Amino acid sequence: DSRKVVSASQDGNLLVWNAVTANKIQSISLKSSYVMSVGMEQTAGNMVACGGLDNLCTVYKLDRPNMAMEMASHDGFISCCRFLSEQHILTSSGDSTCIRWDIASGRVLDSFAEHQADTMFLSIRPNDPNVFISCSVDRTVKVWDVRSSGKQGSVQTLTGHLGDVNSVEFMPSDGNAFGTCSE
């Protein structure tokens, strides 16, 4: 509903804010204060996630924040976490991979592993959660389709940056274009 914003800090707290009033709605104490990414589930807005230097993606239900689901399979820091739905989340990591998870079980559904260095960020295509893009310190951007389950590899690899690609984002209008930024 565009009324909630989530943030986290090295103070060890994940905060949910009212974006209209700028008032804090909820505070969740984290086990690890080394957070590098947060995300909010966009359909119902009842779940938030965070990840960082503990190599875990942790999902919290806002109505039961003491019952967190920890997803552990990455061998590197979590650089980005984005919800695909209330059932699935995507993460990118310093281990050069992206993983699609089943939230309820914490099970890895698919691993996307073509980057040659830290995967720094990912973005999900608006109105099509089957397609996402990732960027990496290896100076590439990759387009993925989860329906191929990572088995066929990325749909497309884009090169041209001369330094680490640190962020990538689909344009919100129709998802047919995206932007990248690099060192």
| Coarse DSSP helix, strand, coil percentages of the chain, rounded to the nearest 5 percent | 0, 55, 45
Task: For tokens 């993460």, name the residue.
Answer: 91
Cα(176)–Cα(110) distance, integer angstroms: 24
CA distance readout (Å), 173 to 128, 170, 176: 13, 9, 8
How much is the pLDDT for 118? 97
Helix/strand/coil for 75: coil
Contact 59, 83 (CB under 8 A): no
Q: Are 1 and 45 in contact (CB under 8 A)?
A: yes
pLDDT tens digits, the chain, 183 residues: what are they? 678 999 998 888 999 999 999 999 999 999 888 899 999 998 888 999 999 999 999 999 999 988 899 999 999 999 999 999 999 999 999 999 999 999 999 999 999 999 999 999 999 999 899 999 999 999 999 999 998 865 678 999 999 999 999 999 999 888 899 999 999
pLDDT in the model for residue 52? 93
Query: How many CA atoms within 13 Å lie on the side-chain side of 79?
Result: 25
Number of DSSP helices (H) and strands (E) in the chain, helices first? 0, 17
Q: Report the predicted TM-score, pTM, of the whole model to 2 decimal places.
A: 0.93
30 residue type, one letter: L
Measured CA to CA, the distance from residue 58 to residue 77 in angstroms comes to 13
